[in-house]
Amino acid sequence: MAATATIALGCASALAQAPGSATLQRIKERGHIMCGASQGVPGFSQPDNAGVWRGFDTDFCRALAAAIFDDPDKARYSPLASKDRLIALQGGNIDVLSRTTTWSISRELNQGLAFTAINYYDGQGFLVRKAANLKSVRDLSGATICVSQGTTNELNLADYFRTHGLTYQVVTFGSLDEVAKAYDNGRCDAYTTDMSQLATNRLLLKNPDEHMVLPEIISKEPLGPWVRKGDPQWFDIVRWTLFALIAAEELGVTQANVMEMTRSQNPEIKRLLGVDAAFGEQLGLTRDWVVRIVRHVGNYGESFDRNLGAGSRIGLPRGANQLWTRGGLQYSPPFR
Ligand SMILES: N[C@@H](CCC(=O)N[C@@H](CS)C(=O)NCC(=O)O)C(=O)O
């Protein structure tokens, strides 16, 4: 059963943990992985009515748990506000942050954290009331705009409005719930964050149909899982688990056919699934780590469709997150 433990923030565990110490070893001893999650973004990470975490970012933690324990439920989730998520990772309260977090140079250079790989290409947009009859972000000059503290969105908003000579009043909030409620209650004229979250958070408003997203995308928000710097083995595991999900989709390896695919004669599939390569063992896992991942979670495309895409109530298009072989940007380096 997936637990829903909320982990208190603090620095005690940071002190207990020497730099370079083996995260994988600690996870194995503990018996589960500790995953930083969102405060409830439908489709990305959110507990369902039974308290079981679900979503595209949750699936990634399930994939890690599958790779390590052959059991995707050996993961616990800590819901983190935007302003707290990097601190939680720095302090050792979580092993991995899998929560709509943008890769940027200042975060990587100044925070002691390492970005592993991009699981979702996003960009920042604006949600507004249809009744306001706005056509573009430029029509928001003089408006009041709601945004979450500690996000790239706060900084992009300032840049964009300054560059375009627009005035605005910003209202920042410390949690997702506060920012969404404030917008819903008319405290601001617009709500800005990553496009994917606007699409999903709109569903949480009182009357979703009364709101619309403006056409402009004002930034690049490459999202994906983060780890602490200083443990190269754990970095490699997290990075290559994501690439394994993408490579499985590229090679047509699915949750339904993965066992059959272990008998494939395709040399790339043989290496990916550990039939003809020992990458899993080199990572400190088992040879069949990718078989475990795909058997329990499916491939990248299956997770996308189930949580965000055609098979979900959100219905986001694959867009830039389509595979490179189909005109998108998702691309796994070779398993060789
Ligand atoms: N991608 C942006 C942040 C996106 C973000 O965190 N958005 C806010 C506003 S909706 C949030 O609280 N998201 C909900 C969550 O993930 O808990 C970043 O890395 O700074």
Whether residue 150 contacts residue 82, with contact meaning beta carbons closer than 8 Å, is answered with: yes
Residue 205 is part of which domain span? 124-219
* pLDDT at residue 110 is higher than 80: yes
Is residue 264 in a domain?
yes
> Hey, how many other C-beta atoms are within 10 angstroms of the C-beta on 302?
20
pLDDT tens for 202-230 read 988 999 999 999 999 999 999 999 999 99
Is residue 179 in a domain?
yes
* pLDDT at residue 1 is higher than 60: no
- The model's confidence at residue 21, banded by pLDDT at 50, 70 and 90, is low
Dihedral sign for Cα atoms in the order 112, 117, 123, 124? negative
CA distance linking residue 184 with residue 247, whole number of Å: 41
Residue 333: C-alpha distances to residues 145, 226, 244, 272, 322 (Å)? 40, 19, 9, 11, 15
- Tell me the best of 44, 53, 94, 100 to mutate to test the pocket of ligand 1, counting ligand atoms within 8 Å of each CB and taking the most: 100
* pLDDT at residue 74 is higher than 60: yes
- Tell me the best of 194, 196, 201, 211 to mutate to test the pocket of ligand 1, counting ligand atoms within 8 Å of each CB and taking the most: 194
Please name the residue whose Cα sits nearest to atom 7 of ligand 1.
193
* pLDDT at residue 15 is higher than 90: no
Residue 117: per-residue pLDDT: 98
Is residue 326 in a domain?
no
Is residue 336 in a domain?
no
Is residue 327 in a domain?
no
Same domain, 164 and 258: no
Is residue 72 in a domain?
yes
pTM of the model: 0.93
Same domain, 66 and 28: yes
The number of folded domains in the chain is 2
CB within 8 Å of 162: residues ≥ 6 apart: none
What is the separation, in whole angstroms, between the first and last Cα of the chain? 35
The mean predicted confidence, pLDDT, of the chain is: 93
- The model's confidence at residue 20, banded by pLDDT at 50, 70 and 90, is low
Instruction: Single out the residue in 186, 219, 252 at which a domain terminates.
Output: 219
- Tell me the best of 193, 196, 213, 226 to mutate to test the pocket of ligand 1, counting ligand atoms within 8 Å of each CB and taking the most: 193
Same domain, 105 and 229: yes
Taking Cα atoms as reference points, which of 99, 266, 107, 108 lies closest to residue 194?
A: 99
Is residue 39 in a domain?
yes
Is residue 325 in a domain?
no
pLDDT tens for 280-319 read 999 999 999 999 999 999 999 999 999 999 999 999 999 9
Task: State CA 302 to chain mean position distance.
Answer: 15
Instruction: Single out the residue in 219, 246, 265 at which a domain terminates.
Output: 219
Which residues line the pocket of ligand 1, CB cutoff 6 A? 38-39, 41, 82, 99-102, 148, 151-153, 176, 179, 193-194, 197, 201, 221, 223
